[in-house]
Structures are given as C-alpha cells and as structure tokens.
Amino acid sequence: MLRRGFKRICLPLFLVAGCLLFLAGCGRKSGEKTEITLLQYKPEAVSIFEKLEEEFNATHDDIHLTIESPNDAMTILKIRFIREDIPDIIGIGGDVNYSNFLDAKMIMDISDFDGLDFIKQSYKDIDKALEYVPYEGVYAVPYVANAAGILYNKDMFEAHGWEIPNTWEEFTALCDQIESEGILPLYFGFRDVWTCLAPWNALAVGLAPSDVCQQVNRGDTTFSEEYRDVAEKMLDILDYGPADPFAYDYNGACTAFANGESAMYPIGNYAVP
C-alpha cells in the first residue's frame, strides 16, 4: 500500500530512449489554473522541451505546464520521490527504473487515454515487454524511439579508405586496422554508467532472447547463460578504447568524439546533436 500522501505519477517513457509516465493525483490548482510539472531526463533535448512548454502554455488558458530538465535527472527524481515532492509526469528511458517504479505501484494506469490510439502497436508492445512482472493496463506513453549502434567519423573514414563493417569479425578487424594507423578506434562515456547500455543493447538484440527477463523470472534460464556472448563482446571492445573507459562522462565523450579523438563511438543516435 502506498504511504498516505504519496501520489502515483504519469510516465512518458523514452523507449530505447523515451516514455512519459503519469503519477496519480496529477496537477495542483493555482488560482484559476491547474499547475502541471513534467520532469524529463534527456539533456540533449532541453531546447525541444522548452519549445513544447512554450507552445502548450500559449494554447491552454486553464493549465500551466512547467517542464524541468535538471542535470543528473534520475538522481534528483529519486530524491524528490523520497521527499514526496513528486512531479506529475516524468519522462525517462525504458530501463530498469521504469520497472521498479511500476512494481512500486507509483504509476497511473492510462488505458483510457485516447492518445494511445496514435502510437504504433510495435512501440506499445515494447513498453509492455519492459515489465519484469506483467501488469494489466497501460502505464507509459512511448513518444520517442532511438537507435543504438556505432557513430563514426565520416570524414576520417573517407580519408583513410575504411569500409563500413557488416559482421563482428569485420568490425574487430576494422578496429585493429584503425589502431595500427595510430588512431583510437572507440571512445566511451562510461563514467555515466548508463552509456554502457548503448553497446550492450545493440549487441543483445541479436545475441539474446527478447524476453530474457521474463524467462529468468520464470526460472527457465539465467542472465549468466543468455548474456555470456554479449558480456564477452563488451569486454572485447574495451581493448579498442582509451586506457580508462571511465575517464569521461556522456557529455565529455560526445565532445571528445566530435573533436576527432576517436574514429567511432558506440552510443545511440541521441548523441548526434
């Protein structure tokens, strides 16, 4: 049971990068307007959310929306949960935090939200697959889907005549070639631990069952068994990066790659801006 005064949130989820989640008891009255707060965690999307906030408030007389985009948003969000200073809507990724919030019964069931009809079924299926323990109902609005893979320096590739690899063997051979020419093949931002998920997910999608978490929960298999190949390849790519893969955080790694300090960067397309 939830503690007294503890409200559930509405959650827009960032699938493979974004969803909105809604917490019960959304909104507070301030004079004639209802005040709504949305906290989102994507620093590279701040300018977009600021524009959305401006457009929303310009077209709604009875609601005032405040969108917050703090640094280290997930830490701040959890602190606010503890203090019961909870946003009405949160925008987070489709990661373990979503499942934990759902298991804690913090998120509203929004099955009756008409906007769900405009979302592709495949994204709603991904949303449901994120539930470690299956629940009846809908608890997130998927609103953006990103791709995880390898960003590469196009000018550098053209200058050196490097070919885009199509297999793991071709990829590691390319890394060896790049390294032999005195250039760092990969950069990492592993000081922000979540950045490990980009190469991990890109590998796991082809090497592990899509329902591995449900299988583990049923006792049919183990993470050690299903993720062995993924873990071994994650260790392999460390050999092609800086001596200290935790030297930079996400923003630092993006900057280093943009400045030509490596030929490639295993991350999502959200890093492009």
Residue 36 pLDDT exceeds 70: yes
Mean pLDDT of all residues belonging to the chain: 88
Q: Does 6 or 10 have the greater pLDDT score?
A: 10
Q: What is the per-residue pLDDT for 50? A: 96
How confident is residue 26, by pLDDT bands cut at 50, 70 and 90? Answer: low
Q: What is the mean pLDDT of residues 166-185?
A: 97
Q: What is the per-residue pLDDT for 30? A: 67
R_g of the chain computed on alpha carbons:
21
Smallest CA-to-CA distance from 197 within 236, 128, 250, 153 is with 250
Give long-range contacts, CB 8 A cutoff, 24+ apart: 249-256.
249/189, 249/191, 249/192, 250/189, 250/191, 250/192, 250/194, 250/195, 251/43, 251/189, 252/189, 252/191, 253/187, 253/188, 253/189, 253/195, 254/189, 256/187
Give long-range contacts, CB 8 A cutoff, 24+ apart: 53-60.
none
Q: What is the per-residue pLDDT for 53? A: 97
Q: Copy the structure tokens of residue 109.
A: 């069931």
Q: What angle, rounded to 10 degrees, do the helices at 168-180 and 228-238 form?
A: 10
Q: What angle, rounded to 10 degrees, do the helices at 197-207 and 228-238 form?
A: 140
Q: Do domains 9-146 and 149-271 have the same CATH topology?
A: yes
Rounded percentage of the chain residues whose pLDDT exceeds 70: 91
Residue spans of beta strands (DSSP E) within the chain: 9-15, 18-23, 28-30, 33-40, 63-68, 89-93, 141-144, 148-152, 264-268
What are the domain boundaries of the chain? 9-146, 149-271
CATH class, range 9-146: alpha beta
Which stretch of 30-39, 55-64, 168-177, 239-248 has the lowest confidence by average pLDDT?
30-39
Q: What is the mean pLDDT of residues 41-60?
A: 92
Task: State the residue for tokens 């959650």.
Answer: 11
In 3-state terms, what secondary structure has residue 115?
helix
Smallest CA-to-CA distance from 20 within 70, 73, 92, 101 is with 92
Residue 35 pLDDT exceeds 90: yes
Q: What is the mean pLDDT of residues 215-243?
A: 95
* Rounded Cα gap, residues 198 and 267, in angstroms: 5
* pTM for this predicted structure: 0.69
How confident is residue 144, by pLDDT bands cut at 50, 70 and 90? Answer: confident
The reply to whether CATH 3.40.190.10 applies to domain 149-271 is yes
Residue 84 pLDDT exceeds 60: yes
pLDDT digits (tens, 9 = 90+) for 95-140: 888 888 999 888 999 999 999 999 999 999 988 888 888 899 999 9
Q: What is the per-residue pLDDT for 25? A: 54
Residue 21 pLDDT exceeds 60: yes
Q: What is the mean pLDDT of residues 46-73?
A: 94
Rounded percentage of the chain residues whose pLDDT exceeds 90: 63
* Rounded Cα gap, residues 18 and 270, in angstroms: 11
Q: Copy the structure tokens of residue 56.
A: 């929303």
Residue 42 pLDDT exceeds 70: yes
How confident is residue 8, by pLDDT bands cut at 50, 70 and 90? Answer: low
Total length of the chain:
273
